[in-house]
With several copies, the nearest count.
Chain A
Amino acid sequence: MYSAKVMDHFSNPRNVGEMPDADGIGTEGNPVCGDVMKIYIKVKDNKITDAKFQTFGCGAAIAVSSMVTEMAKGMTLDEALKITKASLAEALDGLPPQKMHCSNLGADALHKAIEDYRNKQK
């Protein structure tokens, strides 16, 4: 069902945990649907220096969270805003079709975290 890459990121998720001193936090999803992602970022000079996540959800949701935090780290905010559902799925060597929409919330949660950071800067 899942690619080896998904299984790797699910079984050994990177960047798990809370980030008490986060610069931005984004949450996406709904536990009633089965998937919720919370993404934390640290930002310096418009760049994401660190990212962490907490996720309630299926294998795909956890793997997506792990992947999106890995990808985001080191990116500028504008680069990170270009991460999409499709680019995440591609980075994971694909996701089953029924998981594309309900579990692939990583980009949205990340974008929300960036928004949160920018709102705080105002």
Chain B
Amino acid sequence: MNKIYLDYVATNPLHPEVFEAMAPYFKEHFGNPLSIYEPGMHAREAIENARECVAALINAKPKEIIFTASGAEANNFAVKGIAYANQSKGKHIIVSKIEHHSILNTARFLEKQGFAVTYLPVDKYGTVNPADVEKAIIKETILVSVIHASPEIGTIQHVEEIGRIAKQKGVIFHTDAVASVGNIPVDVQSLNADLISFAAHQFYGPKGAAALYVKEGTRIVPLIYGGIQEGGRRAGTENVPAIVGMGKAAELAKRDLRKRIEHVKALRDKLVNNALKTDKVLLTGHPDKRLPGHASFVVEYIEGEAMLLLLSAKGVYAASGSACSSKALKASPVLISIGIPAHVAQGSVVFTLGEEITDNDINYFNETFPQIISRLREISPYAKGWEGTEGSACTAQK
């Protein structure tokens, strides 16, 4: 059977060259990078080399890179670290409604600690209007955090513009670029961001290594206190092999970015064009200003998890924002934010492509997907329409 992984936004397979780069740091060069003897210094150098490669990927200085263990950690670090460092100036934070949970739930935690948070709306494409950011900034505002690209609907924000506004108003700007760095060009010089989160496993690097870019001169309070690793800003014995892997993955991403984008974009367009031929299948997110390998839909009258299971039985691995497919049993707040009715959001399905995907894979997919849709619609009581049930809210069952 064909096995077609179409969930690159969840995580990427490790690039073989990345694994090769990491391998010696598990057993051979296992020393603690803080040590002053040779095995430790070897590890230290490897980390600093990786820092250079990671910095180069986003055109930053090496000392502006702080390694973390995940994108979620980088996001928590950015938001709490800036909040605590600047609470004497003010306690107001601005985020968008389509942030990742690692931003939204951190914002909610800060609300409990006495901070005020403004949640910015988005338009039907999931785009934040920079003018809304400008309007939301008050004297007490210390931080604006807006996601760079959405993993659920692929939409890319006007971060340069938002960053310009924040800078003009003297407010720190963070962008969660976990879904974008390594997949589209990100340059700190033009992005106008003071902090940027990104993760290696989103560009063929290992799990366990991510980073927060912190612009030189930006004060931040640590999330993880302890020793003097990462210049005292993030403690804990460094995960040397993972950091080395992130360095290698960054080097490859920088080298191959344009080629990768062309490859996935062409195949993604072919996938989207075919999917939209089926009745009542809608593209979610922005039609053009979106991640090049990202295709997301709602398919009316059927449910996402059921689609995923049937796709999986055909060897196609994908994701959904439906309530059933999330372990939290709630439909994606992102889909609700862009105005998709809750019952239609249940038909969410997300396909994300990577460099291993071939034209043949997409041909196979394009044959399979409509079959699965019609099979599930045959089972559905709504195959002929929603029958006016769409108004009722979901409360009782959970």
Contacts and interface: CB of A to CB of B under 8 A. Distances in A.
A33 B265 CA distance: 34
A54 interface: yes
B379 A30 contact: no
Interface string B71-104: 0000000000000000000000000000000000
Interface stretch (B161-169, B199-207, B321-329): B321-329
A94 interface: no
A59 interface: yes
Interface in A46-61: 54-61
B357 to A, nearest CB: 25
A58 B322 contact: yes
A34 B301 CA distance: 10
Contacts of B339: none
B342 interface: yes
B324 A31 contact: no
A35 B329 CA distance: 11
Interface residues of A, number: 32
A62 B306 contact: yes
B343 A32 contact: yes
A69 interface: no
B279 interface: no
B390 A57 contact: no
Interface of B: 36, 41, 301-306, 309-310, 313, 322-325, 327, 329, 331, 342-343, 346, 378-382, 386, 389-390, 392-394, 396-398
Given A30-B397, A34-B303, A61-B306, 16 more contacts: A11-B309, A30-B394, A31-B382, A32-B393, A34-B323, A36-B381, A36-B389, A55-B379, A55-B381, A56-B302, A56-B303, A56-B381, A57-B324, A58-B305, A59-B309, A103-B324
6 contacts: A16-B379, A31-B342, A32-B342, A34-B394, A36-B382, A61-B306
